[in-house]
Every structure is written in C-alpha cells, then in structure tokens.
Chains A and B, each alone.
Chain A
Amino acid sequence: MPYSTTHRGLAHTFGDLKTLLAKATPLRSGDVLAGVAAESQVERVLAQRTLAEVPLTDFLEHPLIPPETDEVSGYLLESHHPAAFAPIRGFTVGELRDFLLSDEATPQVLENLTWGLLPEMVAATSKLMRNQDLISVARKRRVVTRFRSTIGLSGRLSTRIQPNHPSDDVAGVLASTLDGLLYGGGDATIGINPAGDGLKPVVELSTVLDTLIRRYEIPTQSCILAHVTNTIAAMERGAPIDLVFQSIGGSQALNKGFGVDIALLDEAHAAGQSLKRGTVGNNLMYFETGQGSALSANAHHGLDQQTIEARAYGLARRYQPFLVNTVVGFIGPEYLYDGKQIIRAGLEDHFCAKLLGLPMGCDVCYTNHAEADQDDMDTLLTLLGVAGVNFVMGLPGADDVMLNYQSTSFHDALYVREVLGLRPAPEFEAWLLRMNIAHDNRLSDSRGKALQLPEVFNAR
C-alpha cells in the first residue's frame, strides 16, 4: 500500500510501509549499503512527515515480513495484546510520539502499554524522535529483573565484567575479573566471550566463575557467551550455568544464521529454569543484538536496520530475560560509520527495548576502522546513563584483548555513577561495603590488600 505527501505542489509517494520506514530513518551507512535509505535530506523529512500520519493499526494489518514465512513475525503478532493496545488504537505514529512525551504517559501508563506495542510501531515512533526524546521517554520506563542481584532499579547502574582472554587462560580471565570486582564492577554479570569453540570452554570457565562467586559470596551471576547448544550441553553435564546466552535477530532467516530458532531458545530457557540457581529471582536469559547484523547475513527482507533490530527485542521479551544489550559499535563503519551514527543507534536501541519491556543495556563500543574514539564513547555513556540504561560493560582499560575492539572501562562506569549519582545493584552495593571495596561509590584505598587470591595464581 503506497503512502503519499505533497511538498511545494509536488506529490511524493513511498511504495509501501517498509520503504517509508527506511526512508524516514536518520542517516546511517548500513541503510545506504542496503539501498533502502532516503536519497536526499528532503526525502528523509518528507518520509518522516508521511510516517507521522500512518495509523498504528497499519502495522497489524500489513506485517512487514509475512508471518507465513517468518516465525518471528508469527510470534510478534500472536503476542500482541489487543487490551493493552486499546488506549492507543486510534493513534497515528506521530500521535504516539507526542503521547509518549506528554505528562499523561506516566511510568505506569507506559508499563501497561508494553504488550500492546509491536516492535515496528516503536521503531517507527523512534524515527520521529530526536535524541532528547529518546532519552526522556526511556528514562520513564524502568525494567527490573532479578537472579542473584536486582538490576534496573531507579537510581542504579550495573556493569558486566567482560574479562576476555585470547586463549581462555583461567588465570588471565580471573586477573581481569578481580580487577573489575575491585573497581566495583560486576553486579550485572561476569560474562566471558570464549575464544575457543565448543563445549569445553563453557564447562571450564563456568566452573571457575562459580567457584569464585561462591568463595567470595558475590551477589552476581556468571555467563559464558557461547552458542546456546553448547550451553545446553554443558548443563546436561552438570556445569554450573547461571545465565544462558544467545545472539538473536529480528528475522527467522537471521536467527537461522545464528543457528537458532524459537523452539531451541525455548528449550534453552527451560533448561536454565530447571537449575533454579537464582536466589532473588529467576530471570536468566541474556541476549545480545545489534543493528546491521540482519543485512550482513542477507536476512533483512528489505527492512532498514533499526526496524529489524527492534523486532529482535519483540522476540527477546518472550523469555523475560535478565539482561539484553545492543553491541552498538561492534559491527563496523559500513553499518554505523561514525560517532554520530553510533550514538544515535545506541539511544534508539535502548529506547525501543525499554518500551517493549526489556532490561536493556548497551555495549558502548567502537572498532578501529570506525570514525569514533573515546570521546564519542564518553558522550554515549553519559547519555545512556541519563536515559536510565540498566547496565554497560566493564573492561580493564576499555580494551578487549580477545575481540579487538574498545568498550567501556571499569573507570568509565565509576565516572557515570559519580556524575549522575547512580549506584550499583543493592545486593552488590552491600557486598562492596562488606568487602571494604567501596563505600558510597568511593573506592577504598586498602581494598584488595587483604584479599586471599584464588590458588590458580600461586601455581605459577
């Protein structure tokens, strides 16, 4: 169904809804690469003006990817709640944008809307919002999850320690982990990307982290970010798995590229639940996503990269995950060229995920071939802190020595907590005090001195 507008007496027509959404998207290199971006600045704004007039019901009546051929579309439509949608049923996309910014859209009203919103409606709305709009609406929508710590409460910001090592060396991983703990990090998770494939690193590293967590009675949870089939196999062998990780995307074809489908994710979720390892709650899935992954797998169905990214969030919420984050700058400059595009995408992803009810975090990051640097990361980190992001990454000196990119450091997390008055998860904050690591966000000078180190360090 075509959509039209007129400008200076000339008619402008957009062939269908996905074309309109793509042309209305703020400029990013991945949409240009896909050939779906607006061809001029004027065309982009005209598309935004046209999109503002589109009724929300169009997204229900004209699915962007047919549910007959895509199980993600099938789930998104079947999980849509008409009762939750009822208050905004008569709205256009533009009216939804205005409503979200209004005083009527209280945190409770936004929470009640959660399952009435399709990801595509949220993505469309974000295209009509400036950065400040994305921040102020997301800030109203807290999403709280629990396992051994409570993540996402108002006034809190958590971190994942990412202690990657080029050869999964146990002492190397633990050195980075202890460094992170002693800098007040790790309340979201201690999450390792293994360098090696297969089952072995999952069993070995989850056992090491489990021993560490029990030894120091740390109110946190471990995660080995391996393919979900390896995590399931590790659980079958009795490995101490806390969080179950998987990369996911917004189409069945992309998930096939990741080697998963809904049935497999259901199986992994059930297996994790059956272990009952959480103490304050049992949210346990951890998903990573990122704009551009669909195009790079040729699984984007002609959609712009931000819209198909939002669909991944619609799938993620099926599992009430403990953590979700976009790895926003990891994919490279052919998808997000520079700091400006990375910052915008990070704010969009956080906004869309939060409105859809996800405990959203962000890997604030860049690669060395993107036009970005530490200053851009400072900007995005600060903006996400204001927007109420649930968690960010913590790496020694911001440098991932295994994946070869830069994320945020333990010190960066201290900075954003300091300037915005944010604190770690309550259980973890009490632990930091008990261990004499930090008190009221102030690091103790004597921390670490009395710490009994794990035996692995003595052996060498």
Chain B
Amino acid sequence: MDIKKPDSWTHLRRFTPARVALGHVGHALPLEAVLDLALAHAEARDAVWQEPDWERIRVGLRQSGKAFIEVQSTAPSRQQYLLRPDWGRNLSEGSKDRLDSQRGHYDLVLCLVDGLSGAAISENALPMLEALGAWLEHTSWSLAPLVLARQGRVALGDEIGAALGARMTLVLIGERPGLSSPDSLGLYLTYAPHTGNLDSQRNCISNVRPGGLSYAEAAETVRMLLYGAKALGKTGVELKPDVKYLP
C-alpha cells in the first residue's frame, strides 16, 4: 500500500513557482517537501546572519585598482541591527572621521552595504560593480572612493554621500531574503544625499541576482537613472528610467 499520496495535477507546476501539487501523507506534507522548505529557509537565515565575505571583496577591488573606505553603522551587533533599524541608518563616529578625511567634490559614490543579506554582497556585488564599471569608467564623472559598510540600512548611504561631498549615492545592498532568493541585491539611487532623505526620493532596482534581474540589465537601468537624475536634478517618484536621458 502506498502511504504517500501523490497529486494528479503535478502538470500545473509549470504555471507557477509556488509549491503546488506536493502530495500528502495523511494530512501532512511528505518529508521531501518539508525538508525542501527547511533548506530554503536555512539558506535565507544564513544569508541574514552571515557576514559578507569582505576579504573576497577587498581582494577583488584591489585587483581592479579601486580605492575603498570601510565604515560601519552605530548598530554594534547583528541582533541590535535587526532590532534597531534607526541604528543601521547612522554612521559610527570613527566612520565619519574616515569619510571626512576623503571629502571632495564627487558626482557619485558607490556603497556596498550588507543590509539583510550578506550572501547578496558576497555573490553579486563584484559582478554588479564590473557591469557598472564597463561604462562608468568611460564617462567624465568624478567617482568617490568606494565605501564598504557594515550593519547598514539603505539610508546609511545618505550620511555617507553627505560626508564625502557626493551629488549622488548609489547603494548596493543585500535585500531581505526570500525562500527562493537568499542572495538578492537591491540598488538605490539618491540625488543630493543627506540625513532625512525620504524613501520617495530614491529610485530602486530590485532582485538583482542570477535567476533574477541580470547585472547587465540592472547596469543599463542605473545608467538611464543616473543621466536622468543629472538632467532633472532629482531622484524619486518623478524620475523613471528612460533612454531619452542617455547621451
């Protein structure tokens, strides 16, 4: 006798990423489905709690000759970071000093921020930078040193941009992990960054990862947004990515 009862509608699986037609044992899920979910959850949990592989990032940046500054927020631990979003939006004292010493007149600063997924930075930050660099390096834009930020939220980029004297901040941040996307990277562009910027004053590109939005597509959208922001003098709800802004 078959204890496990499969479903007769497994052919519907191709219409959705949802976990349909899992079958059942009694009223319960078959073990395979239970363990599949447990593994996906474990990957998402590890993405939240494990630090990005910063050493790999440093090595990669040195190899491509990029200067960088390392900073952290006022959240002293991962647990405090999760409990106090406000602490993740402010720079620690030492970090402010480090940025002040590099203050200048820049068009753009790129920030790698761990956010809620260390895996997103470890896996996707360098290839995303490479895709951006492919055209950024051929512009006359002045770029601030890259900033690597620990225990940060999106708004930490506002304080970073203001401290360095940058006209725009592009934050590359680990997004809240989903079960199928523990390593999703988000990109947030903010014009005239300063403490107190509203979320409605940013433009966001989400779900950048293998299997999601590609690096090249994300880079192209960033390009349209950057030129658009320069033309309009603002980012946010009024700015849409459009080829009309491109030079």
Q: Is the CB of A175 within 8 A of B16?
A: yes
Q: Is the CB of B16 within 8 A of A169?
A: yes
A-contacting 9-mer, from B64-72, B98-106, B174-182, B228-236: B174-182
Q: Cβ of A281 < 8 Å from any Cβ of B?
A: no
Bound: A78/B42 CA distance, A: 50
Q: Is the CB of B7 within 8 A of A33?
A: no
When A399-B37, A404-B179, A411-B29 are in contact, do A179 and B9 touch as well, CB less than 8 Å?
yes
Residue of B nearest to A414 (CB): B27
Bound: A29/B44 CA distance, A: 22
A-chain residues with CB within 8 Å of residue B38 when the two chains form the complex: 374
Q: Is the CB of A32 within 8 A of B83?
A: yes
A-chain residues with CB within 8 Å of residue B84 when the two chains form the complex: 33, 334
Q: Is the CB of A368 within 8 A of B15?
A: no
Q: Is the CB of A409 within 8 A of B83?
A: no
A-chain residues with CB within 8 Å of residue B29 when the two chains form the complex: 397, 409, 411
**Residues of A in contact, count (CB < 8 Å):** 50
Q: Is the CB of A369 within 8 A of B17?
A: no
Q: Is the CB of B15 within 8 A of A401?
A: no
Interface of A is mostly: mixed
When A175-B12, A398-B37 are in contact, do A368 and B178 touch as well, CB less than 8 Å?
yes
When A334-B85, A368-B178 are in contact, do A397 and B37 touch as well, CB less than 8 Å?
yes
Bound: A405/B178 CA distance, A: 7
Q: Cβ of B129 < 8 Å from any Cβ of A?
A: no
B-chain residues with CB within 8 Å of residue A175 when the two chains form the complex: 12-13, 15-16, 18, 20
**Residues of B in contact, count (CB < 8 Å):** 42
B147 → chain A, closest Cβ, in Å? 23
A295 → chain B, closest Cβ, in Å? 11
Q: Is the CB of A399 within 8 A of B82?
A: no
Q: Mark B11-38, 1 if CB is under 8 A from A, else 0.
A: 0110111111110101111000100111
Q: Mark B38-63, 1 if CB is under 8 A from A, else 0.
A: 10110011011000000000000000
A372 → chain B, closest Cβ, in Å? 10
Residue of A nearest to B25 (CB): A411
Q: Is the CB of B83 within 8 A of A29?
A: yes
Residue of B nearest to A337 (CB): B83
Q: Is the CB of A396 within 8 A of B83?
A: no
A-chain residues with CB within 8 Å of residue B33 when the two chains form the complex: 397
Q: Cβ of B140 < 8 Å from any Cβ of A?
A: no
Q: Cβ of A178 < 8 Å from any Cβ of B?
A: yes
B-chain residues with CB within 8 Å of residue A216 when the two chains form the complex: none
B14 → chain A, closest Cβ, in Å? 8
Bound: A191/B86 CA distance, A: 34
Q: Cβ of A415 < 8 Å from any Cβ of B?
A: yes
A-chain residues with CB within 8 Å of residue B17 when the two chains form the complex: 166, 172, 401
Q: Is the CB of A369 within 8 A of B18?
A: no
Q: List 21 A-B contacts (CB under 8 A).
A: A169-B16, A171-B15, A175-B16, A178-B9, A179-B12, A183-B24, A334-B84, A368-B47, A368-B179, A368-B182, A396-B16, A397-B20, A397-B29, A401-B18, A404-B177, A406-B37, A406-B179, A411-B29, A414-B24, A418-B27, A447-B8
